[in-house]
Amino acid sequence: MPAAQFVEFLNKTQRDPRLNEILYPYADTARAKDLIQQYEPNKYNAQKGQFSFDGFLRYLMSEDNPIVSLSKLDLSQDMDQPLSQYFINSSHNTYLTGHQLTGKSSVEVYRQCLLAGCRCVELDFWNGRTDEPIIVHGYTFVPEISAKEVIEAIAESAFKTSEFPIVLSFENHCNPRQQAKIAQYCREIFGENLLDQPLESHKLEPGCPLPPPALLRKKIIIKNKKKHHHKKNHPSEASLDTLPEMQGNGDIPHPPLQKEGSKESADDEDLNEEDDECSSEEDDDEDEDDAAECSKHQAIPSPDKAASAKESEAGAEISALVNYVQPVHFTSFESAEKKNKFYEMSSFDEKQATTLLKERPVEFVNYNKNQLSRVYPAGTRFDSSNFMPQVFWNAGCQLVALNYQTLDLAMQLNLGIFEYNFRCGYLLKPEFMRRRDRRFDPFAESTVDGIIAGTVSVQVISAHCLTDKRVGTYVEVEMYGLPTDTVRRKFRTKIVPNNGINPVYDEEPFVFKKVVLPELACIRIAAYSVADSGKPIGHRVLPVVGLCPGYRHVGLRNEVGQPLLTPTLFLLVQVKDYVPDGLSDFAEALANPIKYQSELEKRARQLSVLTDDIVEEGSISVVGAEESAEEEESMKLKRLQSSQASDQGSSQSSQTVVPSSGSISKGVSPVISKGASSEESGAAAAASEDVDSLSDSLVAMSVSDVQTGNSKAPALTSPAIQEFVAEPLEKLMENKLVKEKKQEMEKKLDALRRKHDKERSRLQAQRTSQDNEKSKSVFYRSHKLVKRLSSKNIEMGQGMVGIATEATSESPECEGDGISAPRFQGLPRSHSERILALHKEHVGQERELREKYHEAVFSTLEKVMLTSQTNQLKALSDLSKRETEEVMKKLENMRKEEVKARSKIHKDRDEMIRIKREVAKSMVEKGVNERKKLTHIYAKKTEELERQHEEVRLRFEEEKNKARAVLLKEYECRFPRVEEELQLPTTPSTDANVQESYE
């Protein structure tokens, strides 16, 4: 393998694709040659910069090709955060070597635990027979050991593996005298390492955080009951008739025990009455163990023993050693938050902690952000078995105490996790579990805010030197983390029979598709022998964060976490960010857009060999299409501008109320005349089309915003929503009810006109008969009389005619309905008065009738308008509801189709359950988003429709007032005009003129 090929192997196969190129530069030829020089056994190949098979194998199995980043093994985490921000390696009943009831005790176990990286050990102190305190599991068959020897062993081994602080969890059943001895031994043996006073920088005050491990290097912290100086309950108050039920701190379902005295400070008496009655005791978990053990042996102690079974009241000497870890009885999360004392901690057995975790998971996580909590095995675990610590790490519990003497799966995970960060016994929690402004649910199934989910693939290729026996072997791969990330007993290779030296599995990759929280997840790889009935040959626990991809050899560990010399597994590991199904190509294009674009160009060049002509024609058509599109856009812009200008210039002239030529006979309905020219109307129509197309595109954009993932989201808006436009006033005037009112008015006007015609005809007949008689008498008289005119009379007559003509020309015409009648000679005075009275009466009746129907017509029009607007709003609301239901149905169908499609790909039941939850949650989120979009769209449409309705209502009031003003003005002009016409002498054409003016 030449150096160039080795560089490509390092950069493409062995490199994490998520690494930053600047912080973690790519390997170059110089780096490749250095590795070749280091691992190539053939000097000739090394000089030429080439890898042989042996050299390459040596590299793959070397420290330069680790399965976990070497920085994870070093002290790489920030050690300047408060103690509550770390997971702390903890032990339960550390002195035991086996069974809880019948096992043995040993001082050596403390040394082994501390050397293994444990930072919290437990000591159960009881009164010794020779006034020397002892450590023993009370009321069991476990032998006792000297308390002084244990303290000496702790002093010897405390800081051999790690220099960070140790917490000694005391369960104290000694009398005051022996408690004083314990305090004396601690001061004398621990010396300067004993933290007997709080630091000046971190005082014991409410709201003050705990000190960081970096400030407590080589310090031993005592966890014991703290004596407070306020009124105590008398011992006689505690009932000793029966053995009290033992319980641990934090036991919520059971009432608290009555203690000898209150251990809360006087400042807290007003916070919680129960706190004054309960002792601020350490873990009562051991007491519960004692009660269970006593129950099993059916040995109920005497009242004196019952009193001693409870922890003794803290003496002044040992109480003075307690500072940053003060155990108190847990009451509630609210009470702890109200106190705000970060130096107080509570202990829970696994059942109590599980109850809290299930009922109030988020509050439990928040509690652990500031205060320490200790979780220990239930008292019924007599065989010293362990619970899964990952359950309570997910809640942020710091001191998850396990039985170190039992090397089961839980203990293997504990030792494997704390192997990292230089085995210092402290692991920094993920940031979202430490920050107060972040909310974390341990049962989250979707991606946590700010955390990128991952995908891990592990392919087991082969193994090396698992065992020297001819037995069948197989490998299991499991993941532990959040409940949604945990995968157990699922991925297992085939059994390779009779081969423990170099079995080849060559299985399909085991894919953990979606790891929601990689920072809390770990992978356990274990090799098993068929002959040993499931006992692992070796295992390895690997954190997901820090896992190195590529071809890796993994050295296995034994049960106690020590490396095995020869057994290794050869794996191909792939790690990357999680991408939902169907979006992998899109994600790759985003990750490497240059590569994606170059591939597209390369394919285009390859196709150009066969499609040169088509490409040329297509390019010409594309250019032409682009030019036409640009011209179309410019024309649209010009049309919009012209329409806006025409709207501003002719907004009043385009919709003007004028009386029609037949307004007298056809009622009071206003006629809307379009004043705009045909060109302007065409521009306005085009502009409206542009606006409609623009609104459609905006709706489409809003729909596309909702679409997420690879599934097509249903359309949010139907074309029906575009039809909701306020009905114009002209259309409302064509309503049947309005027309009926107008027709009713026309009929009454016709009846009134016919009545007046009869009366006028009667007067006309009378006037005609009178005129005939007068004409005869005048004819006879003209033959008898001869009149002579002088020049003076002629001049005077001509002057009068000029004055009359001038007066006639200067008289203004009355503005009425546009009819200007010519001036004729007046009628005789008596007859004119009769006709004038008849005209006045008719005009008055007509005016009264039209005014009456003016109100009636516009009242009907208003009712029609309000009904139409109400129906439009209701129809829009119904459409919104119907469309929302349709979208929900489409989403449900999409969910079913997607699950059906996924089921064809994924055959694993657990994976399908996870996928169904994921798809359901995704569809719920999509449904919420689409409902919000629909609500927003319909709210805007409703607001726009209401605005249009308001404009129509204003227009209605304006037209009503205009029509009334036109009516009043018309009749004000008609009265004087009729009077003027009827005052002139009567001529044959007078009646016709009067008739025209009347009509």
Which residue ranges make up the annotated binding site for Ca(2+)? 93, 122, 124, 171
C-alpha separations of 806 from 312, 799, 977, 978 in Å: 134, 10, 19, 21
- The shares of helix, strand and coil residues in the chain, as percent rounded to the nearest 5, are 50, 15, 35
DSSP, res 476 = E
For residue 558, which of 415, 670, 728, 709 has the smallest C-alpha distance?
415
481 vs 776: CA distance, rounded Å: 131
DSSP codes joined into one string, 32-85: HHHHHHHH-S-HHHHHHTB--HHHHHHHHTSTTS-SB-HHHHSS-S---S-GGG
Q: Which two tokens stand for residue 52?
A: 């042989």
DSSP, res 492 = E
Q: Which two tokens stand for residue 490?
A: 């699922």
Burial degree of 878 (CB within 10 A; 0-12, 13-18, 19+): exposed
Q: Among this protein's residues, is 230 annotated catalytic? A: no
Residues 476-508: b if buried by 16+ CB within 10 A, e if exposed: bbbbbbbebbbbeeebbbebbeebbeebebebe
For residue 727, which of 936, 956, 881, 935 has the smallest C-alpha distance?
956
Q: Which two tokens stand for residue 665?
A: 């006979």
DSSP codes joined into one string, 802-821: HHHHHHHHHSPPP-SSS--P
Under 8 Å between Cβ of 521 and 396: no
542 vs 554: CA distance, rounded Å: 10
Q: Which residues contact 99 (CB under 8 A, 6 or more apart)?
A: 382, 383, 384
Strands 120-126 and 134-135, by their bridges, are antiparallel
Q: Among this protein's residues, is 99 annotated catalytic? A: no
Q: Which two tokens stand for residue 795?
A: 């001049």
Under 8 Å between Cβ of 333 and 357: no
Give the Cβ contact number of residue 339 at 10 Å: 21
Q: From the candidates 92, 329, 839, 854, which is the catalytic residue?
A: 92
Q: From the candidates 99, 137, 297, 756, which is the catalytic residue?
A: 137
54 vs 60: CA distance, rounded Å: 10
C-alpha separations of 21 from 10, 15, 455, 473 in Å: 14, 11, 21, 41
Strands 120-126 and 166-172, by their bridges, are parallel
DSSP codes joined into one string, 355-372: HHHHH-HHHHHHHHHHS-
The crossing angle, in degrees rounded to 10, of helices 736-784 and 829-905 is 160
Q: Region of 250 please: left (phi>0), alpha (psi -120 to 50) or beta.
A: left
For residue 845, which of 755, 761, 758 has the smallest C-alpha distance?
755
Under 8 Å between Cβ of 388 and 522: no
Give binding residues as ranges: 93, 122, 124, 171
User: Catalytic residue positions?
Assistant: 92, 137
